Structure 1
């Protein structure tokens, strides 16, 4: 099932999730380094990467929801997609709460509590990432209908190009 939100022949959502996910992982690393060293530079870096990751995640989520609405109702893919999407909203909420808890500090230092909340968000992100992989790799969501090892380039496809070339011999009815 081809993704609805596309750019240059590719689904937009999986392109957009890479940067926010990397930022959120980096934020947890910076916060862990702050807790280990006490360096205010790590605290500030963790705060900025958290905000950037949450904002980027919300932007990526918009395209994920567009694709989710295209999945047929009452299918396993629709249920997995819902779990994936709602789970990722919870991930972003956990990181946002972790960031809000550090606002009491003048140097944006994370407390152990805010660190544990964002760490829980990271663990949940691993689960929701697996669900996203299940959608694509197992259920074929976001994969072109004519995908294959010898498929043509997505940039060569035009509006006039048929999705499948079927000869009359393959379809004796002529349809």
Structure 2
């Protein structure tokens, strides 16, 4: 019997950077409304957003390669396309948020950039749920080929 070929799933490891950075940025945004002079928090939030965008681009490049491991025409492939679209949308929203904050962010963080970040985080959360579906339900990049094929071809996926 041939040994199953497992590959290290890099995408789930890389997504920790943008998720962590973007969640921390919202904490900084809110905290900029609580302290007397929150400019340092607004500045930190902007750089966390930038770090998250760079991390998301790295995660997306590996995730895009993972997409090719999923047979087209399956429910898992459709879920992966929605997952990718939501993640790219969130990344673009954060990139816009980074740009509109300018080189010298004001404190407290204005409502517009804050709402944009919260909306982007909601899209990211939905994408994360679908990413969990891909990994835990369909075994994308974590299960052996036979298990994945069985998972992809279940009757309920039609």
Bin of the TM-score, shorter chain as denominator length: 0.7 to 0.9
Greater C-alpha Rg: 1
- Give CA deviations for 1:84-104 in whole Å, capped at 9, x if unaligned: 01100001111111111111x
In the superposition, the TM-score normalised over structure 1's length comes to 0.74
Distance 1:144 1:107 in 2: 45
Stretches of structure 1 that go unaligned for 5 or more consecutive residues are: 148-175
Offset of residue 108 of structure 1: 5.0
Alignment correspondent of 1:42? 41
Choose between structure 1 and 2: higher helix proportion.
2
Name the SS for the 2:33 alignment partner.
helix
Distance 1:74 1:83 in 2: 14
Distance 1:88 1:36 in 2: 30
Distance 2:138 2:92 in 1: 27
Q: How many residues align?
A: 141
Corresponding position: 1:13 with 2:7:
no
Name the SS for the 2:72 alignment partner.
coil
Stretches of structure 2 that go unaligned for 5 or more consecutive residues are: 147-158
Aligned equivalent of 1:22, options 20, 23, 44: 20
In the superposition, the TM-score normalised over structure 2's length comes to 0.82
4+ long deviations beyond 6 Å? none
Distance 1:34 1:70 in 2: 43
Alignment correspondent of 1:163? none
Judge conservation of contact 1:47–1:108 (CA < 8 Å) in 2.
no
Distance 1:59 1:95 in 2: 15
